[in-house]
Chain A
Amino acid sequence: MVGPAGGRPVLLLRSLSFVVEPGEILGLIGESGCGKSLTLLSVLGLLPRGLAVQAGSVRLDGMELIGAPQRAMAAIRGRRVAIIFQDPQNCLNPSFTIGRQVGEALCIHKLARGRRAVRDRVVELLTEVGLPDPEGCMDRFPHQLSGGMQQRALIATALAAGPQLLLADEPTTALDVSVQAQIMELLRDVNRQRGCSIVLVTHDLALASQFCDRIAVMYAGQIVEEGSVANIVHRPAHPYTQGLLACLPMLGRRQQLRPIPGEIPTPDEVLAVGCAFAPRCRHRLQECTSAHIELHEATDGHRARCLLVRHSPQPVGPPT
């Protein structure tokens, strides 16, 4: 649970739980303001000033990260859990060369000593992320690279210390679709070859369904549905997931788009009890706004925060 430390309490994330297995790619899907990025930042202990984790725990390999001392967290950030952001241009320092910025991660975690060793290792990393002419890139400044190359350089920085878990926050949203495909392929290679788990945060359900093993759908600070890609995409149980699929333009399927009526609630509009999606839901029941709603198991490993799942043993089919 995440909310402002003082002042009027507004909960931004509420009873949010998920598990990332070793070597797994988990997709965290949701629209803007649903708390996807905050979730990643709270894992790393990097919440913006004024926000705090009010309850709950984050464990990495059994080790508790919430409330861990700063020094312990500094040893984990970058070394065991790394993050890449949406806009590579804003993440790279414009006044240092690529080589220096990738090398910095090695030096901080004392993984290479001496200029020669650091340089060799950085060239290896730049080669691994598929930058053409890695030697040349070392001495170039961020503005001399294209957006896709910048994102590759950033991935190299994230991989420098060999993390077990890579958090990718909309890594391709600022890129063209053909570059997006290349970057996603690179991330998949990283996942396969290094066995590194990835949490992919995105608003693009189609992208996640192509790339992830499992998907968790977020709405208004909660996970409303989670399951395998096939379950989420072909047997969505939560009306919000169904709505998202119905309004997602998909290529070669000139279907009529069916918009979800209404707007995304702001955090202080979300009811303290009941389902946050209820005001926009076509299947709303009376108790949807009064009862506390748990994640109900639809099938094995496929859970949805919806009373309809509890009411019917079969998951509700996609809307006709």
Chain B
Amino acid sequence: MSVRGPALVVAEGIARTYREDPSRLTRVLLRTPPRQVTAVAGVDLTIGTGETLGLVGESGSGKTTLGRLLVGLEPLDAGRVIVDGLEVGRLRGRERRRFRRRCQIVFQNPYASLNPRYSVRQLLGVALRLRGLRRSEQTEHAVRLLERVGLSRRHLDAYPRLLSGGQRQRLALARALATGARFLVLDEPTSALDVSIQAQILELLVWLRREEGLTYLFISHNIAVVEAISDRVAVMRAGRIVECGPTDQVVRDPQHPYTQALLRAVPRVPSASC
């Protein structure tokens, strides 16, 4: 499979299983063995530097868990992940902090992912401190970040509740960039937004990728959105990637029956002949 540029992210045979651990009482009363759910069941994945890989699948297919595994937010049960030459999970101390700065994740719900008690200045300050910037340098840097994502100096002392959904997602992006991240996992970043705002955020993502040389894993249940932004698409079902290829090829000529069914279900605007 063609990968643009040298690989930045490599995942080999990664897996993650969750064990539902019922309380002792239920265990005794119902005599049920703990249930296991395999969220990610052996996934191989490569993302090239500067590339956007789209990850689609229905709810419960393991998209989010896969994204979290790639940035080290979940322990791996099997396999390994290497981002920019660093092996996730093996890192300790300084190396681990370096890795955390390199990879960031932007979550779906900008209402839940920003601490409501922190002002914009503080939210960005936390990330900028990680990068070792002194307090005196932080304001100037924060303003520069805000301007990059289409906000401005006047938002510095605002609290998240005063921002609209689109502005919050811009702020979440600024915070991800504040650490100097090169690889971003975007977990349904536009699903909570209206279409007109979604298009603004997608445009911003494309622009930022070019300007900053970023690499994205773009997770979405909406294959039309993924198509609009990705170079390649991976289709996930029940913890496995069932099809992966260049976006045009997957959308025009899907090989796996599941991809075909998924594409058929997407509502389309009727053609002009009607």
Q: Chain A residues in contact with chain B, CB under 8 A?
A: 31-32, 176-178, 180-181, 184, 203-207, 209-211, 229-230, 233-234, 243-245, 247-252, 254, 257-261, 263-264
B269 and A233 within 8 A (CB): yes
Task: Kindly name the residue among B199, B222, B262, B274 whose own CB sees the greatest number of chain A CB atoms within 10 A.
Answer: B199
A-side contacts of B262, CB under 8 Å: 177-178
A251 and B203 within 8 A (CB): no
Cα–Cα distance between A206 and B271 once the two chains are bound (Å): 11
A31 and B196 within 8 A (CB): yes
Kindly provide the distance from the CB of A125 to the nearest chain B CB, expressed in whole angstroms: 25
**Which one, A178, A184, A244, A250, contacts B268 given CB within 8 A?**
A250
Given contacts A249-B199, A251-B263, 20 further A-B contacts (CB under 8 A): A176-B58, A178-B58, A178-B265, A184-B267, A204-B267, A206-B269, A210-B267, A210-B268, A234-B272, A245-B269, A248-B195, A249-B222, A249-B228, A250-B268, A257-B199, A257-B228, A259-B197, A259-B200, A260-B200, A263-B164
- Identity of the chain A residue whose Cβ is nearest the Cβ of B220 in the assembled complex: A249
- Identity of the chain B residue whose Cβ is nearest the Cβ of A147 in the assembled complex: B59
- Identity of the chain B residue whose Cβ is nearest the Cβ of A232 in the assembled complex: B269
Cα–Cα distance between A229 and B267 once the two chains are bound (Å): 14
A207 and B267 within 8 A (CB): yes
**Which one, B195, B227, B266, contacts A247 given CB within 8 A?**
B195
- Identity of the chain B residue whose Cβ is nearest the Cβ of A254 in the assembled complex: B227
A263 and B272 within 8 A (CB): no
B268 and A251 within 8 A (CB): yes
Cα–Cα distance between A296 and B182 once the two chains are bound (Å): 51
Q: Scoring B residues 63 to 79 as 1 if CB is less than 8 Å from chain A, else 0, what string do you get?
A: 00000000000000000
B270 and A233 within 8 A (CB): yes
B-side contacts of A210, CB under 8 Å: 267-270
B-side contacts of A234, CB under 8 Å: 272
Cα–Cα distance between A264 and B164 once the two chains are bound (Å): 9
Known: A177-B266, A205-B269. A252 touches B252 (CB 8 A): yes
B266 and A257 within 8 A (CB): no
Chain A to chain B: the 6 pairs with minimum beta-carbon distance, closest first: A247-B199, A259-B199, A31-B194, A181-B265, A249-B224, A259-B200
B-side contacts of A261, CB under 8 Å: 200
Q: Interface size (B, Cβ < 8 Å)?
A: 37
B268 and A177 within 8 A (CB): no
A230 and B268 within 8 A (CB): no
B59 and A176 within 8 A (CB): yes
B270 and A264 within 8 A (CB): no
Q: Does B151 contact A (CB under 8 A)?
A: no
A259 and B196 within 8 A (CB): yes
A-B pairs with beta carbons under 8 Å apart, 20 shown: A176-B58, A176-B59, A177-B221, A205-B195, A206-B224, A206-B268, A210-B267, A210-B270, A230-B274, A233-B269, A233-B270, A234-B272, A247-B195, A247-B198, A248-B195, A252-B252, A254-B228, A260-B200, A264-B164, A264-B197
Kindly provide the distance from the CB of A101 to the nearest chain B CB, expressed in whole angstroms: 24
Cα–Cα distance between A247 and B225 once the two chains are bound (Å): 11
**Which one, A203, A209, A252, contacts B194 given CB within 8 A?**
A203
- The B197-252 residues at the A interface (CB cut-off 8 A) are 197-200, 202-203, 221-225, 227-228, 247-248, 251-252
Task: Tell me whether chain B's interface is mostly helix, strand or loop, or mixed.
Answer: helix
B-side contacts of A263, CB under 8 Å: 164, 166-167, 197
Kindly provide the distance from the CB of B190 to the nearest chain A CB, expressed in whole angstroms: 9
Kindly provide the distance from the CB of A30 to the nearest chain B CB, expressed in whole angstroms: 9
B195 and A252 within 8 A (CB): no
Known: A178-B58, A178-B261. A260 touches B268 (CB 8 A): no
B196 and A177 within 8 A (CB): no
A249 and B227 within 8 A (CB): yes
Kindly provide the distance from the CB of A45 to the nearest chain B CB, expressed in whole angstroms: 28
- Identity of the chain A residue whose Cβ is nearest the Cβ of B261 in the assembled complex: A178
Kindly provide the distance from the CB of B133 to the nearest chain A CB, expressed in whole angstroms: 31
A260 and B248 within 8 A (CB): no
Task: Kindly name the residue among A180, A181, A203, A251 whose own CB sees the greatest number of chain B CB atoms within 10 A.
Answer: A251
Task: Kindly name the residue among B164, B195, B200, B228 whose own CB sees the greatest number of chain A CB atoms within 10 A.
Answer: B195
B-side contacts of A206, CB under 8 Å: 224, 266-269
B-side contacts of A250, CB under 8 Å: 224, 268-269
Kindly provide the distance from the CB of B200 to the nearest chain A CB, expressed in whole angstroms: 4
Cα–Cα distance between A233 and B274 once the two chains are bound (Å): 10
Task: Kindly name the residue among B164, B167, B196, B199 whose own CB sees the greatest number of chain A CB atoms within 10 A.
Answer: B196
Q: Scoring B residues 121 to 159 as 1 if CB is less than 8 Å from chain A, else 0, what string do you get?
A: 000000000000000000000000000000000000000
Cα–Cα distance between A257 and B199 once the two chains are bound (Å): 6
Cα–Cα distance between A158 and B123 once the two chains are bound (Å): 46
B-side contacts of A211, CB under 8 Å: 267
B199 and A251 within 8 A (CB): no
B-side contacts of A251, CB under 8 Å: 223-224, 227, 251, 263, 266, 268
A-side contacts of B228, CB under 8 Å: 249, 254, 257
**Which one, A177, A205, A245, A248, contacts B58 given CB within 8 A?**
A177
Cα–Cα distance between A257 and B198 once the two chains are bound (Å): 10
Cα–Cα distance between A259 and B196 once the two chains are bound (Å): 6
